[in-house]
Amino acid sequence: MRIKKGFVLREVCGESVIVGEGLGAIDFGKLLSLNESAAWLWKEAQTQGDFTVESLADRLCEIYDVTPEAARQDVADIIENWKSVNVVE
**DSSP assigned state of 31:** -
The strands making up 32-34's β-sheet, listed across from edge to edge, are: 7-12, 15-20, 32-34
Residue 55 pLDDT greater than 90, yes or no:
yes
Please, what's the b/e burial string for 13-32 (b: 16 or more CB within 10 A of its CB; e: otherwise)? Answer: eeebbbbbeeebeeebeeeb
What pLDDT score does 57 carry?
98
Tell me: the pLDDT tens digits for 14-54?
Answer: 999 988 876 655 555 567 899 998 999 999 999 999 999 99
What pLDDT score does 53 carry?
98
Tell me: the pLDDT tens digits for 56-68?
Answer: 999 999 999 999 9
